[in-house]
Amino acid sequence: MLDLAFWLLFLLIAAGLGIFLFASEEDKSVVSLVAVFSALGGVFALMGYTFLGGIYVLLYAGAVVVAFLMVAWLVSGRSREGRSIKWAFFLIFISLGTELSLIFLGSRSVFRRVSTSVSALGELFLGKYLYVFELTSLLILTAVVSSLVLMRRRS
C-alpha cells in the first residue's frame, strides 16, 4: 500500500517535470510545478515528515508558484482567461486533495517510519539552532527590503 502510493507520486512528479521542461508557454510549465511540489510534499509525508510535507505544499505549491504565475502573466502582458485557467485550477485541486488525504493517513501512525514531533522541532530551533533561526529571519528581512528597493521607480 505504501509503495503503491509512493510510485504513484513518483509518476506524478515525473509527468509534472516533463510538462515543466517542454511546455511551450511559460505559465503551463509553471503550473505543472504545482503538481510536482505537492506530490513531493506527499512523498515527505510518506517518509514520515508530515510537518514538512505540509509546509512544502503550502509554501511552494501555494505561495511561490502562484507568485511566479502572476509575474508570468505580467510578462505575457495580458490576463489569461479561457481554458488554461480552468485547467490550472483543476490540477491544483487534484494535487491538494491527494496531499491532504496523505497527511491524514500519515498522522495516523499507519506509515510511522520516522517519529518526529513538531515540538521537538520547535525546541531545536529555539535552542541549539537559535542563531540559524535568527539569521534566516534576518535574511528574509533583507530579501524583502531589497526587492522593495529594486522595484522603486528610478527617479
Partner 1 sequence: MSSTALFLLSALLISAGIAGFFVRKDLLTMLLSGEVALSGANLALLVFATRSSPTEAQAAVIAILTVAAAEVAVALAAIAVAIRDKGKATEDIASEMKG
Task: Report the C-alpha gap between 53 and 101 in whole angstroms.
Answer: 12
E strands present in 73-150: none
| Cβ-based nearer residue to partner 1, 90 or 131 | 131
Which amino acid would we find at residue 55?
Answer: I
Task: Please give the residues from 77 up to 96 whose contact with partner 1 meets the rule CB under 8 A.
Answer: none
Give me the sign of the Cα torsion angle 53, 59, 63, 68: negative
Cell 528581512 -> residue: 141
| Cβ-based nearer residue to partner 1, 7 or 104 | 7
Site string for partner 1, 49-68 (x = CB under 8 A): x-xx--xx--xx--xxx-xx
Cβ neighbours around 80 below 10 Å, total: 14
Cell 505537492 -> residue: 38
Report the interface residues with partner 1, using CB under 8 A: 2-3, 6, 10, 13-14, 17, 20-22, 26, 29-30, 33, 36-37, 40, 43-44, 46-49, 51-52, 55-56, 59-60, 63-65, 67-68, 71-72, 74-75, 113-117, 120-121, 124-125, 129, 132-133, 136-137, 139-140, 142-144, 146-148, 150-151
